[in-house]
A and B are shown apart, each in its own frame.
Chain A
């Protein structure tokens, strides 16, 4: 069955770089897009960026200067790296599958990231 699972550090110091991994199973990264979406505590959802099935990427312009998404298809993994973290980057980070039509049809459990010294 389709599964996505985020992993990464729960605590990051201000100004440091966040590195997260989304490990997928049940589908191929060369056939489906994968998105990253984040959610500050008690707030709504924010789209961060996307790894397309063909390897192309697109980013939220508000984060583009700090954000990088990459992948390793042999390991079924999509990576998120975001630098210069600040306290308002605290939140839950999700990866989600994004077919063109049924976008966001499967979600990972999310990983909570706290930015604090």
Chain B
């Protein structure tokens, strides 16, 4: 199975600070059809996960544009440009290129 390694495990930030989360894959996530099925989810405390970014860099409808995704192959990054209080929670990367789907272990974003 594909292993997704997220760093850091915990991120402390102040409101307005820009932060980045890394997700590294044990295999290339480039599918033979040309898509890279690497997505980012946010799980706020006590809530279900929600999709933020799909296919590496595409912003899900309704998600603020302070969120952005980048990367290719095995290295991917989620960036938040100006953290807001509502951004606190656990961020997960997930891949769907190789069966079975696998998730990163998560990065907890907390207030400093």
Q: Which residues of B contact A107 (CB under 8 A)?
A: 48-50
**Do the beta carbons of B94 and A110 come within 8 Å of each other?**
no
| Per-residue interface assignment for chain B, residues 37 to 52, with 1 indicating a CB less than 8 Å from any chain A CB and 0 otherwise | 1010101000011110
Determine if A91 is an interface residue (Cβ-Cβ < 8 Å): no
**Do the beta carbons of A105 and B48 come within 8 Å of each other?**
no
Q: Which residues of B contact A26 (CB under 8 A)?
A: none
Majority secondary structure, A binding face: loop
Q: Which residues of B contact A46 (CB under 8 A)?
A: 103
Determine if A60 is an interface residue (Cβ-Cβ < 8 Å): yes
By beta carbon, the residue of chain A nearest B41 is A104
- Residues 4 to 45 of chain A near chain B (Cβ within 8 Å): 35, 37, 44-45
**Do the beta carbons of B92 and A45 come within 8 Å of each other?**
yes
| B51, B99, B102: the one within 8 Å of A104 (CB) | B51
- Residues 80 to 106 of chain B near chain A (Cβ within 8 Å): 92, 94, 96, 99-106
**Do the beta carbons of B103 and A102 come within 8 Å of each other?**
no
**Do the beta carbons of B48 and A110 come within 8 Å of each other?**
yes
Q: Which residues of A contact B55 (CB under 8 A)?
A: 101
Determine if A61 is an interface residue (Cβ-Cβ < 8 Å): yes
Most buried by A among B35, B54, B60, B105: B54
**Do the beta carbons of A58 and B99 come within 8 Å of each other?**
yes
- 9 cross-chain pairs, A with B, having the tightest CB-CB distances, nearest first: A47-B101, A107-B48, A45-B103, A60-B100, A102-B54, A44-B106, A105-B51, A44-B105, A103-B96
Cross-chain pairs A/B with CB under 8 angstroms, 5 sampled: A45-B49, A45-B94, A94-B49, A102-B54, A103-B101
